[in-house]
A and B are shown apart, each in its own frame.
Chain A
Amino acid sequence: MRYHRWFSPWVLVIPALAWLLVFNLWPSINTVILSFTNARPIGGGTFVGLKNFEALLHDEQLRYALLNSVIYMLVCLPLLTILPLALAVLVEKKVPGITFFRTAFYTPVVASAVVVALIWQWILDDRGLVNGLAEKLGVISGPLPFLSDQWLLLFSAISLTVWKGIGYYMIIYLAALGNVGRELHEAAAVDGASAFRRFTNITIPGVRGTMILVSILISVSALRVFSELYILSGGNGGPGGRDSSVVMLIQQYSQGFEGNLGYASALSIVLFFVTVVPMLALARLNRKAADA
């Protein structure tokens, strides 16, 4: 039985629904339409058929970007699945001052990726903290080119992403740890199980669902990386543009006289497939594991 006029719910829903249609659903459709045109950042554009998609096949920068994305994901996935869980276990117990530590560990998440990348750019500079200390200790004779070597730059950006992400996933795990039965831990402790055994045999199975969720989030965000690589490489994608990500290429084609929104849209469709495929694969894995 209804206790309101038929239009009342719609009045409340319409603003959000309008936003959804104008800024989510329509752009999704329009991305596909644009990818068959040669639209420019200032406007205009005509139908060009499959030309953009043919160009994708011969785009060397895209090949590097996809390779970088895969490396990014393969390194981030194990590190960001395990480290934040260990940290969550560490901050779970309410010892005095724990709120301060929790807040402090979350600080890199709150800071803008631009701020964080500029800080690391200075730390990893040829004359920065890391090179200075390493030279002082005699580990290296000359500065390591963290920001100008293709591979060092990529791994610097990956470390930055991991460093910035730990606090975020720590919080997700922290919320999940609240559900792991305390009784199980107590019983195991009484039976003489070590802290490590309790971690592997109680904590990890207890947060298994969250681990799958977290690994989906990590994979998708690794494939979407932009700010870290953009700032560390000084906006140009490193030596020969080989340190670009797919999103960096999209941004690159979005502006200027050389810009081509049609091609950028075709790149967006590539991004859609590379992010959605691992997401669905992991979600499927989750369902299978749940059925078993």
Chain B
Amino acid sequence: MTVVTDPARPVAVPDEPGTAPPRRKRGSFGFNSISPAEKAVRYLLLVFVLLITIGPFLWQLSTSLKGSGEDIYTRIPKLLPSQPTLSHYGEVANTIPVWDYARNSLVVAVLVVGGNIIGSSLAGFALSRLQFRFRRLVLGLFLATLVLPGEVTIISQYVTVREFGLANTLLGVALPGMIGALNVLLMYNAFRSLPVEVDQAAIVDGANVWQRFLYIGLPSVRGTISVVAIFAFIGAWDDFLWPLIVLTDPNKYTLTVGLQYLSGTFSNNPRLIAAGTMIAFIPIVIVFATLQRFFFKGVEEGAVKG
């Protein structure tokens, strides 16, 4: 239905409610029904992979809840704590200002999400729906930067941020990522799927560029916007290298840098580090679990191109 390998290909169908893409016919009935034996094997494999992917997180959660008197090094691992306690979460806050770090991460993430939604949808709309000189050149510039791994320019990016006087600030952490070239191209692709006739009809009705963007363009690309927002949030919340370079003052750390600081400086108690990692992990899982519907829908529409 959609091709992910070809970034130039428009999204197949606009994700306007009501014009949902027609589902592929599910083939013949007999081919799709699976035998009980195959079903059992499938679920067995699924549960096996589940243990591998989720197991480590559960083990960490369990460690963070185990009482200080409990032997966490026992040879026979126990998943359920025998003296469950939340005290380590409080203790982390006494060791490092973990709630400030969480707030810092949130500030950066919100700035990055907001910037990307606004900046990339404006540019994506102009590049796909409006004719102007140098349009292809601008588009080519955005494409060209995708080839460059971010780490290559990270040092000179730091120099730029420092010259703006933003070294060691949260704004300095957020700023470079606030409009991503990839997101501009994703939005460009999404807007392209809208039929030209819709624009022409709006022009005949006297709608100006801004009205066409706001009332025709935006409502038709909500799926892609949510994918852009989810990825921007996860990217900003999880980022480590860039805030590690920009921030030098331990009071301004984001969660990831703060966790590294916790484990490097006060690493004697695994329960404490476990509690810290859970504070960073649980919010992102909640965000993803609530929005996964849009994410997988976006994947099916071809909004994810690696």
Interface on A for B, CB 8 Å cutoff?
A: 2-4, 6, 8-10, 12-13, 15-17, 19-20, 22-28, 30-31, 34, 39, 43, 87, 90-91, 93, 95, 99, 101-108, 110-116, 118-123, 125, 127, 129, 132-133, 135-136, 163, 166-167, 171-172, 174-176, 178-179, 182-183, 185-186, 189, 209-210, 212-214, 217, 220, 223-224, 226-227, 230-231, 234-235, 247, 250-251, 254-255, 261, 264-265, 268-269, 271-272, 275-276, 279
Contact = CB atoms under 8 A, between A and B. Distances in A.
Interface stretch (B80-88, B89-97, B126-134, B218-226): B126-134
Contacts of B239: 112
Contacts of B126: 8-10, 12-13
B240 A105 contact: no
Contacts of B60: 118-119, 122
B151 A247 contact: yes
A101 to B, nearest CB: 5
24 contacts: A16-B142, A24-B153, A24-B181, A27-B153, A39-B159, A87-B49, A101-B49, A112-B255, A112-B281, A114-B238, A119-B56, A119-B57, A122-B63, A132-B75, A135-B75, A136-B75, A167-B53, A175-B304, A176-B5, A189-B31, A265-B155, A271-B149, A275-B149, A279-B147
A129 B55 CA distance: 11
Nearest to A1: B131
B43 to A, nearest CB: 7
B54 interface: yes
A231 to B, nearest CB: 6
Nearest to A178: B1
A265 B160 CA distance: 13
B259 A275 contact: no
A52 B125 CA distance: 44
A112 B237 contact: yes
Contact of A105 (B49, B125, B241, B255): B49
Interface size range of chain B in the complex: 35 or more
Nearest to A221: B149
Given A103-B289, A217-B306, A2 B149 contact: no
A112 B270 contact: no
Task: Give the interface centre of B59, B77, B155, B260 by most chain A CB atoms within 10 Å.
Answer: B155
B52 interface: yes
A261 B277 CA distance: 31
Nearest to A174: B299
A112 B256 contact: yes
A111 B135 CA distance: 38
A46 B141 CA distance: 31
A16 B145 CA distance: 13
A101 B59 CA distance: 19
Contacts of A120: 56
A31 B155 contact: yes
B280 A112 contact: yes
A261 B159 contact: yes
A36 B37 CA distance: 66
Given A111-B281, A115-B259, 13 more contacts: A13-B127, A19-B176, A24-B181, A25-B141, A28-B152, A95-B39, A103-B288, A114-B260, A127-B73, A175-B299, A227-B241, A235-B264, A271-B149
Interface in B29-59: 31, 34, 39, 42-43, 45-46, 49-50, 52-54, 56-57, 59
Contact of A265 (B156, B264, B273): B156
Given A129-B59, A133-B77, A276 B155 contact: no
A224 B152 CA distance: 9
Contacts of A122: 59-60, 63, 270, 273-274
Contacts of B277: 115, 118-119
A125 B270 CA distance: 10
Contacts of A132: 73-75, 77
B306 A129 contact: no
Identify whether the interface residues of B are mostly helix, strand, loop, or mixed: helix
A182 B31 CA distance: 10
B104 interface: no
A185 B60 CA distance: 42
B296 A227 contact: no
Nearest to B257: A114
Nearest to B234: A110
A112 B244 contact: no
A223 B149 CA distance: 10
Contacts of B175: 23
A95 B152 contact: no
B155 A15 contact: no
Given A12-B213, A127-B73, A265-B155, A163 B296 contact: no
B263 interface: yes
Contacts of A174: 299
B149 A31 contact: no
A163 B234 contact: no
B2 interface: yes
A172 B152 contact: no
Contacts of B75: 132-133, 135-136
A9 B118 CA distance: 15
Nearest to B145: A24
A108 B53 contact: yes
A110 B263 contact: no
A73 to B, nearest CB: 14
Contacts of B14: none
